[in-house]
Structure 1
């Protein structure tokens, strides 16, 4: 199996009044400064003029890993892919499958069934990279099943019934993680958007760190946020529904760390109060008619950059300046695709179906990349998908500012 790879002098009474006023002013100033420091605006150089770029404006290379196709592992539509070192964990509707760096199939994680250590459905999964564990979220049984990387069952963690409906998880310390919940609905009357979990023997104990918004998706299960949590620059960040803020989690506490200042990015409190009894999807329709944005919908992070899906645009931020991207085009694949779809980090590896390569072989072969053309030649429409990952340029924000004269 082949890897195809492509290559920052006053009387005392008056004096007392002045002293009191000075003290109050200083206190007020310190309070304002602290508030500002707790929530810093991200400097976006083109917030009123998002640009369209080619993916090769920001990457040095892209690696494509075709996954081995065999009778032991025939994948359907891939739901998510994570990576640790040189091992890929691929989840589709049937289960989680492990592949090596060459794309060769290694093993499946666990097995289907109702016995100990078995499952009949996986809501999602996360990696405990320190302990080399694959952790399967099984809400129906209020369990998280843990397996080693070879697929062997290790243990089961149990959580309370009130903690059900976990949508996604981010590890944030030893035996500690944050969990994101979908919008409350008529089936799951959740009161939390985020909770923190700690392990106590085989039990998971949680506490709420953010209330659920006063919104409802009625009978529909709807997470709304795509990638709600990331680890970036050795810190933990997450977002909230209809918000322009990026929150930071540290030592059990949450505070707004950054915000994106773009007009009409989120609905006002008055607007939400006026439509408080409106079905969520109808509310979204009304917001679109009034040209009101939906806030930050996803976060992603590479080693050097934070990415955010801001309404319909993608923000690239290097901790100093940010740039808004309207569309990203892959000239070698003749494909428009957001960076937030996958490929920017080990937490969200990207994937493309083999049928995409097969059906678009002509366009790919007319491209500039001969090795990518060879890959398209080797795939049939029934083969397993192809994984991809981006390797970003240094100082790419500066490069974009110069190239697009921002």
Structure 2
């Protein structure tokens, strides 16, 4: 099992141990994503029952990593990105890189308005093979690329990015998706190949409302979440359904 899937699997195991049974006639409840990648899910209707399962049935390798707690390494854990040798931790205003022993390696970029700087972050992706890290803003016009030593490589200009989520493909190209508002549609997906050629793709089925019934702007209350725990670039959009 790849390390990218580890956190998702652990969460599912906890849910299974606490609450899930199995339907009559099913060995397991599952959803087939691709031929070689399966996500296991639980049926909420079965939460009244429980059954025991061994962690070893789900996970072949597990370890707890204590991240360095020096002043320069402190970060509010919001989103975590794991590769074979690195752990990237993102909060809205910082991206810090650690190794698998928890040692702090470097900051990736910094807050500001100059080259290689950002205001507020929302998504990230790491590619060890090509020595690249890409950061996506909460709102902005550019993706930012760095190497694993924290050195700024380039800015990839885009018309607009709203809560961007990014993913490196095996060939080193980039995929971007973000919130696309119905009242001002832009694009839903962007592919940037290794030569810098950009391909924009629209998908009206993913448009979200940015205005409520009273005409107030609520667009940024919506969230787009990519767990990066499948072989495909899967994501979910959560529309606002709560009063603040």
The TM tier, using the shorter chain, reads 0.5 to 0.7
Matched, 1:94 2:54: no
Question: Residue 228 of structure 1: CA displacement?
Answer: 6.3
Distance change >3 Å, CA 210–CA 128, structure 1 → 2: farther
Contact kept, 8 Å, 2:163 with 2:223, in 1: the verdict is no
Aligned to 1:375: none
Distance change >3 Å, CA 228–CA 196, structure 1 → 2: farther
Aligned to 2:173: 176
Aligned to 1:190: 185
Distance change >3 Å, CA 205–CA 55, structure 1 → 2: farther
Cα deviations across residues 198-245 of structure 1 (Å, max 9, x unaligned)?
24755x62321533446525222244453366543xxx2536669xxx
Question: Residue 132 of structure 1: CA displacement?
Answer: 1.4
Contact kept, 8 Å, 1:180 with 1:228, in 2: the verdict is no
Matched, 1:281 2:204: no
Question: Residue 104 of structure 1: CA displacement?
Answer: 1.3
SS in 2 for 1:72: helix
In our comparison, the structure showing a higher alpha carbon Rg is: 1
Aligned to 1:66: 66
Matched, 1:238 2:221: no
Aligned to 1:208: 201
Relative contact order, CA 8 A, sep 6+: which one is greater?
1
Question: Residue 106 of structure 1: CA displacement?
Answer: 1.5
Question: Residue 174 of structure 1: CA displacement?
Answer: 2.9
Distance change >3 Å, CA 138–CA 217, structure 1 → 2: closer
Alpha-carbon RMSD across the aligned residues, in angstroms, is 3.7
Q: Distance in 2 between matches of 1:45 and 1:173?
A: 27
Q: Distance in 1 between matches of 2:236 and 2:66?
A: 35
Aligned to 2:17: none
Aligned to 1:105: 104
When normalised by structure 2's length, the TM-score is 0.64
Q: Distance in 2 between matches of 1:89 and 1:160?
A: 27
Aligned to 1:125: 124
When normalised by structure 1's length, the TM-score is 0.41
- Larger % of helix: which? 1
4+ runs deviating over 6 angstroms: none
Cα deviations across residues 365-394 of structure 1 (Å, max 9, x unaligned)?
xxxxxxxxxxxxxxxxxxxxxxxxxxxxxx
Q: Distance in 1 between matches of 2:234 and 2:225?
A: 11
Question: Residue 181 of structure 1: CA displacement?
Answer: 2.1
Distance change >3 Å, CA 45–CA 181, structure 1 → 2: closer
Contact kept, 8 Å, 2:123 with 2:135, in 1: the verdict is yes
Question: Residue 171 of structure 1: CA displacement?
Answer: 2.2
Q: Distance in 2 between matches of 1:88 and 1:45?
A: 26
Cα deviations across residues 257-290 of structure 1 (Å, max 9, x unaligned)?
xxxxxxxxxxxxxxxxxxxxxx9627xxxxxxxx
Q: Distance in 1 between matches of 2:119 and 2:112?
A: 5
Question: Residue 121 of structure 1: CA displacement?
Answer: 2.5
Unmatched 5+ stretches in structure 2: 1-33, 212-216
Report how many residues are paired: 197
Q: Distance in 2 between matches of 1:177 and 1:143?
A: 13
Distance change >3 Å, CA 45–CA 117, structure 1 → 2: closer
Distance change >3 Å, CA 239–CA 122, structure 1 → 2: closer
Contact kept, 8 Å, 1:176 with 1:196, in 2: the verdict is no
Distance change >3 Å, CA 174–CA 160, structure 1 → 2: farther
Question: Residue 142 of structure 1: CA displacement?
Answer: 1.2
